[in-house]
Amino acid sequence: MAARLNPLGTAVGPKLVKYLVSADKVLAGSTLSAATQELVKIRASQINGCGGCLDMHTKEALHAGETPLRLNLVAAWRETTVFSDPERAALELTEQGTRLADGAGISDEVWANAAKHYDDEQLMALAALIALINTFNRLNVITRQPGGGYLVGQHV
C-alpha cells in the first residue's frame, strides 16, 4: 500500500502534527495510566482501520511492558479475562466515542461505569485521548499512511 500524501512534506502537516503531539504529551502526563492510554489508542485504531497507528501503539505498548496476550485480545476484550474493570470501562467508552455515527453517542450507562473507575481528571484525559487518537486515525486513513515500518520511539 502506498501513501496518498506525505503529510510531513507539506507546509501544514508538520505544524498540525506539532500541536497534536503536544496535546498527546499533556495526556501522557496525566494520571490516566500509560497502559490504559495505549489500550485506548489501539482499540480506536482497530475500529478505524488505521494501520499506521496500530503499528505504532502496539510496538510502543510492547516496549513499555504490555504483554502480547493482552495486545492480541484487545479487539475481543469483552470475551476475555485479561483486562481489569477500569480498562474494560475505558475500552467501552472508546468504542462508543469512536463510533459516534453508529448510535446516540455515549450512553449514560457507559459514562457512569467509567466514572466509577476514574476521577474527573482521568475522565477528561480519557475523553481527550479518545478524541485525539480518532483525529490521528482519520488523518492517517485519509492520507493512507501504511503500517509496518514504525520504530519504537520514532514519534514519541
CATH assignment, 25-142: 1.20.1290.10
Q: Residue ranges per domain, the chain?
A: 25-142
pLDDT in tens, 10-43: 999 999 999 999 999 999 999 999 999 999 999 9
Q: How many alpha carbons fall within 13 Å on the CB side of residue 26?
A: 15
Residue 130 C-alpha cell reads as 479518545
Nearest to 129 by CA among 61, 4, 67, 42: 42
pLDDT in tens, 87-122: 999 999 999 999 998 887 899 999 999 999 999 999
Distances (CA, A) of 97 to 22, 44, 49: 21, 9, 15
Q: Residue 156: which pLDDT band, with cuts at 50, 70 and 90?
A: low
Q: What pLDDT sits at residue 150?
A: 84
Q: What pLDDT sits at residue 103?
A: 82
Whole-number mean pLDDT of the chain?
Answer: 95
* Gap between the Cα atoms of 117 and 114, Å rounded: 5
